[in-house]
Amino acid sequence: MTTDQQTLEWHKVAEKGKLPEGRVASVTAGRKTLALVHFDGRYAAMDNRCPHQGGPLGEGSIEKGVDDKCWLRCPWHGWDFDPLTGKPPGGHEDSGQEMFPVEERADGLYVGVPPEPDHVRTSTDVIAETMVNWGLKRVFGMVGHSNLGLADAFRLQEEAGNLAYVGIRHEGAASFAASGYAKLTGKPAACMTIAGPGATNMMTGLWDAKVDRAPIVACAGQVQVQVFSPFAFQDIDLHSAFAPVGEFNQLVLHASNYAEVASLAMKSAIVERDVSVLIFPDDAQTLPAPDMKAGRPDGRLAAPRMAPASDVVKAASEKISAAKRPLIIAGYGAREAMDAVIDLAETLNCPVVTTFKAKGQIPDTHPLAGGVLGRSGTPIASWFMNECDLIIAVGASFSHHTGIEPKKPIVQIDFDRMHLGKGHAVDVPVWGEIGLTLPLIRGRLSAQGAGGSAASDQRKEIADRWAIWRQEKERRLSDNRGRGINAASLFAAMTKIVPADAVMPVDVGNNTYSFGRYFEPCGQRILMSGYLGSIGFGFPAAMGAWAATQDFPDYAGRKVVSVSGDGGFGQYAMEFATAVHYNMDIAHVLMNNSELGKISKEQRSGEWPVWQTGLTNPNFAELAKSCGGMGLRVENADQLEAALKEAIAHSGPALVEVVTDAELV
């Protein structure tokens, strides 16, 4: 079968003399992939797809058959075709392959192909358009054989300027990046993968987002519906696999309402602050849907404002009014309402301490800030929890890591009813949005006048406790066992150098504990793998944070400064090359102690021998340079500030490798 030559577009596909006699190669003419044949002194071009299962004929070979005739043999299953006419030996395809004319010109070989047909809107086009309408601006993922239709839909949206795509090196990095993006902005990002192992690689980052209430839409390719079975290549039951993590979990099939499925996925992610999953069988990704309208959020989202009843506000206000030494504990759930938290604290002249996940939500430079409470915290916060006579917990979940004392009188405020009194009873549980509830309480206190609160002014005591702790930190700067820089020195330097408006993703490990203990935030936004505590989070989350600085004006121009240990960075080290590829403005601080130091410490604490925690590392600074970024290695504490300044000033990916002592944390 030969193409009509009246409507052809000609494309150069090869240089003259580059395809030897008796050989075949895959070439591309426009978007058409062809098998180019050089046989018996002539050239021929045919459709590259074998009609059996789509095998690439251009990767086949020209072989002599039992009839002594030469045939072009498909590399997948051995179907044969005449190398010059595309005709089969007979019996399985009467028409043969579609043939395309070849011309030998002075500058090379040209093939004529029909003009590209107009794009027919597809099922995944409808879904991508719907997701964009609901606010999707960023997709992280890996293009592969079972998501090509979906990938093309995202490509069209990117070319239209509606979203941006980041191609990662490992699917786990895609979901962690989406999680970091969502934690920073509160807006959903998408991550895309192929079937089978690609989908399972994404699971950890999805769980990280789920337990920290970050909105994500996971888009997973799947094998064709007709080959669903336990024995098909890369087929696993993705719907069941994603069921525990996906608040919304849906197969997109031939009869699906594509706009509605995508709308529900986006709405669930936004409203529930959770993970939505869409699974796309390969043969359902390119179904024609020319007339289906994309979904939109208009009329489908209510404003997230919810205030408690007046009697509940009265009960909480009376409890707070009677306290002499109240303490406010702000959790991650209060991150969007910190102005209201600080207003209440200033009314009461009481300290505000945070959970570790909420570190930085009130700057340590504020006169009422008391640092972080719990295992990764400071003695300041512990002091005030021990000495208070009332805890006002806002957006905090009472995790074991934080260690909020349950025997203290407690007023708890949260938008999630399940968090109220979750692990034990509290005196006054208040269900409401924090940003609406705290002004109501403050208003009642103010209405009572100067005598309306029994609280004493604790500002001087806060300053005194900070002075004691800073003296202790200063003493630790001189700790030196000759095995690397101590953590106190690194984070003292970072406290001086890191910009106040920086975004700081932090990994899991000893680096996290040291960061919580020593770094004093003065306005930075800190991101971490909170409840899941997943090592490897830091650098992919930094990629997500950088993407957010490109997508939202509120974050434009903010430097991303991330922190990890060598164990965490090693899990996704090649994503540094991804950062170089997209010129991401990230300064990454890597604490290299050649050890899984936190695990060594836990083995000692449990009175086990230290076993299998040592690491053999490359020179990470040289690795960064080899990827095309900046790499700096710091082995002495007096080099810290200069290296940090240079990396932060660099426009693009930079890595500061700090050789640290695993025990001086």
With 90 as the cut, is the pLDDT of residue 632 above it? yes
How far separated are the first and last CA of the chain, in Å rounded?
73
Distance CA 166, CA 158 (A): 11
Q: Do 148 and 187 have their domain in common?
A: yes
Domain membership of residue 648 (yes or no) is yes
Last residue of a domain, which of 433, 462, 491? Answer: 462
pLDDT (tens digit, 9 = 90+) per residue, 267-285? 999 999 999 999 999 999 9
Helices H / strands E in the chain, number of each: 20, 28
**What integer pLDDT is reported at residue 6 of this predicted model?**
62
- Closest by CA to 247, choosing from 201, 304, 188, is 188
Mean pLDDT across the chain: 94
Q: Residue 46 — very low, low, confident or very high, per pLDDT cuts 50/70/90?
A: very high
With 70 as the cut, is the pLDDT of residue 5 above it? no
Distance CA 205, CA 629 (A): 25
Domain membership of residue 441 (yes or no) is yes
- Closest by CA to 657, choosing from 585, 574, 594, is 594
- Closest by CA to 127, choosing from 165, 160, 167, 156, is 156
Helix (H, G, I), strand (E, B) or coil at 390: strand
Domain membership of residue 468 (yes or no) is no
Q: Do 268 and 156 have their domain in common?
A: yes
Among 88-102, 249-263, 631-645, the minimum mean pLDDT is found in: 88-102
**What integer pLDDT is reported at residue 235 of this predicted model?**
82
User: Which parts of 108-248 fold into alpha helices (H)?
Assistant: 123-133, 148-159, 171-185, 197-201, 203-211, 238-242
Q: Do 360 and 488 have their domain in common?
A: no
Distance CA 538, CA 162 (A): 28
pLDDT (tens digit, 9 = 90+) per residue, 399-413? 877 888 899 999 999
**What integer pLDDT is reported at residue 91 of this predicted model?**
53
Q: Residue 331's domain is classified under what CATH number? A: 3.40.50.1220
**What integer pLDDT is reported at residue 92 of this predicted model?**
56
Element (H, E) at 579: helix 575-581
Q: Which value, to the nearest 10 degrees, does the dihedral of the CA atoms of residues 412, 414, 418, 420 take?
A: 0
Domain membership of residue 16 (yes or no) is yes
Residues with Cβ within 8 Å of 467's Cβ and at least 6 positions away in sequence, in order, are: none
Q: Do 641 and 509 have their domain in common?
A: yes
User: Which parts of 218-327 fold into alpha helices (H)?
Assistant: 238-242, 258-272, 310-322
* Backbone φ and ψ of 139, nearest 5°: -125, 130
CB count in 10 Å sphere of residue 209:
31
Residue % of the chain over a pLDDT of 90: 85
Last residue of a domain, which of 89, 113, 137? Answer: 113
Q: Do 318 and 409 have their domain in common?
A: yes
Angle at 633 between CA 630 and CA 638, to 5 degrees: 120
Among 100-109, 400-409, 551-560, the minimum mean pLDDT is found in: 400-409
Q: Do 105 and 143 have their domain in common?
A: no
Count how many Cα atoms sit within 13 Å of the Cα of residue 312 in the half-sphere of its side chain: 14
Residue % of the chain over a pLDDT of 70: 97
Query: Distance between alpha carbon 258 and the CA centroid of its chain, in Å?
Result: 25
72: alpha, beta or left? (left if phi > 0; alpha if psi -120 to 50): beta
Q: Are strands 216-222 and 189-193 parallel, antiparallel or unpaired?
A: parallel
Last residue of a domain, which of 66, 87, 113? Answer: 113
Q: Can you read off the two tokens belonging to residue 414?
A: 């949260």
Asked if residues 44 and 21 have their Cβ atoms less than 8 Å apart, the reply is no
**What integer pLDDT is reported at residue 53 of this predicted model?**
85
Q: Residue 555's domain is classified under what CATH number? A: 3.40.50.970
pLDDT (tens digit, 9 = 90+) per residue, 481-490? 999 999 999 9
Range 15-25 average pLDDT:
94
Classify residue 231 by burial, with Cβ atoms within 10 Å: 0-12, 13-18, 19+.
exposed
Element (H, E) at 344: helix 338-348
Domain boundaries, position 270:
123-284
Asked if residues 434 and 340 have their Cβ atoms less than 8 Å apart, the reply is yes
Distance CA 559, CA 525 (A): 11
Distance CA 527, CA 555 (A): 14
Distance CA 546, CA 548 (A): 5
- Closest by CA to 208, choosing from 528, 446, 655, 611, is 528
Q: Do 133 and 259 have their domain in common?
A: yes
Distance CA 471, CA 416 (A): 40
Domain membership of residue 306 (yes or no) is no
Q: Do 445 and 509 have their domain in common?
A: no
**What integer pLDDT is reported at residue 487 of this predicted model?**
96
Q: Do 184 and 262 have their domain in common?
A: yes
With 50 as the cut, is the pLDDT of residue 610 above it? yes
Classify residue 67 by burial, with Cβ atoms within 10 Å: 0-12, 13-18, 19+.
exposed
Distance CA 253, CA 47 (A): 29
Q: Can you read off the two tokens belonging to residue 189?
A: 């990002």
Q: Do 166 and 210 have their domain in common?
A: yes
Count how many Cα atoms sit within 13 Å of the Cα of residue 502 in the half-sphere of its side chain: 25
Domain membership of residue 88 (yes or no) is yes
Distance CA 153, CA 287 (A): 12
**What integer pLDDT is reported at residue 451 of this predicted model?**
47
Domain membership of residue 296 (yes or no) is no
Integer CA distances (angstroms), 200 to 157, 172, 196, 239, 627, in order? 26, 9, 6, 12, 27
Task: Please report where in the chains the tokens 């086009």 appear, as a residue.
Answer: 125
Domain membership of residue 139 (yes or no) is yes
**What integer pLDDT is reported at residue 230 of this predicted model?**
63
Count of domains for the chain: 4
CB count in 10 Å sphere of residue 343:
14
pLDDT (tens digit, 9 = 90+) per residue, 335-390? 999 999 999 999 999 999 999 999 999 999 999 999 999 888 899 999 999 999 99
**In the chain, how long is the greatest CA-to-CA distance?**
108
**What integer pLDDT is reported at residue 597 of this predicted model?**
87
Q: Do 428 and 485 have their domain in common?
A: no
Q: Are strands 108-113 and 102-105 parallel, antiparallel or unpaired?
A: antiparallel
Range 563-570 average pLDDT:
96
What letter would DSSP give residue 114? P
**What integer pLDDT is reported at residue 345 of this predicted model?**
96
Q: Do 408 and 509 have their domain in common?
A: no
Range 590-607 average pLDDT:
91
